[in-house]
A = this chain, B = another copy of it.
C-alpha cells in the first residue's frame, strides 16, 4: 500500500526507481494469487438478476394473459406493443404513450434496425446508402456497440470529445453544417463509460441544432435513465420538450429498455419520438413484424405498474452495485489519486467507471492485468474503430463480480496503472 504519496511527476529519478521496485514487487506478488477475475463486461451480477425472479411468475396459466385493453397477449398482432408499457416508458422518457413503440428484448436491435431503415429507405430524405461520404458523430469515449452499428453500415465515424458536461457542442454544431453528417450517438445520462449526465445547456444546444441534413437524427440512447446509484442521482433535461420549443421535434429518436431493470436476456425495449418519427418507424415495422412478445411485455407491466415501482426496483439494484463502485473508487482514491498519473469521473449512476491512465499506457495496463488474471475491457474499445488516440482510457465494469472480487480486482488495477506509468518514467 502506498500512503502519503508524492506525485510521480514531482519525484526524483531515484525516488521513481524505488517506487517502481516497490510496485513491481507488489505486482509479482499477485502471481501467487492465481486470480481469475473479469471487469470487462457491463453485465449485472446474479444477485441483481435475482431481484426480478418474481417477474417469471406474473403471467402464468392461471392469472390471465390479457392486458388492460383486453388483448390476448398470447396471439398475433399489435406491432407497437401493449399500452401499459407504452404508458410507463412514455412517462420515463417524457413523451406521450402514443409516441412510444414497445418491442422485443433489445434496444440495440431497435437502433440497428432504425439505421438500417435509414440506409434502405431514408429517415426523411434519400436512402443513406446513396450518400457516399455519410458520416456519424461519435462522442468518445462512448458505447462500442453504437459505433459498431454505424461502422457496419459504412459511415465515417467522427470522434467528438466528451467534456464533463457532455459532448463538445461547439464541435457538434460545426459538424452538422455538413449535409453528409446524418446523426449522433448519445448516452445522455450516466454516459457509457464516463458516467456523465449531459447538462441542461448541452441538452438545449442539442434541441437547437440546425443541421444541414434534413434527415439528421439524434440517437438518444437513454440506457441508464433510471439507473441511479447514489440517492436521487442526476437530473437530465427532457430533450423532447426542448425540441418541441425549437420546432425540432422530429430530430431525436429516443431509446430505453429494462435490460438492467429486470433481465438483459429477457427484457423489454422501447423507442420513442415525435408523431412523424413514430409514423416513419412504423412504415418499416409493419413489414418487419406482426407483433413483439406481448406476454413478456405483460409480465413487465405487472411487475412495474408505474414509475414508482421502477424507482423502488432501481434502489434495490443500487444497494447491490454501489458497494462495487465504492470499492473501485476507494482503491483508486487511496493508491492512485496522489500519484497524479490518472484521473476518473465519479458517476452517480450507470454501469461503468471511466479511468484515464497515463497517456500511452492503457494497453499496457490491460496487458499487465491480463497477465495476473484480471480481464479488462480492451483498451480503446470505447473509441471509434477501437482506437483511443491517447491510449489512456480504460472502461471499468464493476457490476458482475462479487464485492470481494472487485476489491481484489481494484488492487490489481491500481498496481498495474502505477506499474505501467513507472515503466515509462524510470
Contact = CB atoms under 8 A, between A and B. Distances in A.
A92 interface: no
A75 B287 contact: no
Given A74-B265, A264-B76, A292 B105 contact: yes
A288 B53 contact: no
24 contacts: A44-B75, A46-B75, A54-B61, A56-B59, A56-B60, A57-B60, A72-B265, A74-B264, A74-B266, A76-B264, A76-B265, A104-B104, A105-B293, A106-B290, A108-B290, A112-B289, A113-B288, A149-B288, A263-B295, A265-B291, A265-B293, A265-B295, A266-B295, A293-B296
This protein's copies in its complex: 2
B265 A73 contact: yes
Nearest to A262: B74
A43 B76 contact: yes
Nearest to A127: B129
A116 interface: yes
A75 B53 contact: no
A111 to B, nearest CB: 9
Nearest to A149: B287
Contact of A49 (B75, B127, B263): B75
Contacts of A295: 56, 263, 265-266
A134 interface: no
B289 A106 contact: yes
A109 interface: yes
Contacts of A105: 104, 292-293
Contacts of A9: none
Contacts of A59: 56
Contacts of A49: 65, 72, 74-75
Given A105-B104, A288-B112, A265 B149 contact: no
Interface string A134-167: 0000000000010011001100000000000000
Contacts of A56: 59-61, 65, 295
Given A75-B43, A129-B127, A293 B264 contact: no
A56 to B, nearest CB: 4
Given A54-B61, A104-B104, A113-B288, 17 more contacts: A43-B75, A49-B65, A74-B265, A76-B259, A104-B105, A108-B290, A116-B116, A116-B120, A120-B153, A149-B287, A264-B290, A264-B291, A265-B291, A265-B293, A265-B294, A266-B294, A293-B293
Interface string A181-207: 000000000000000000000000000
A233 to B, nearest CB: 23
B293 A266 contact: yes
A264 B75 CA distance: 5
Contacts of A293: 104-105, 265-266, 293, 296
Given A57-B61, A60-B56, A129-B120, A75 B263 contact: yes
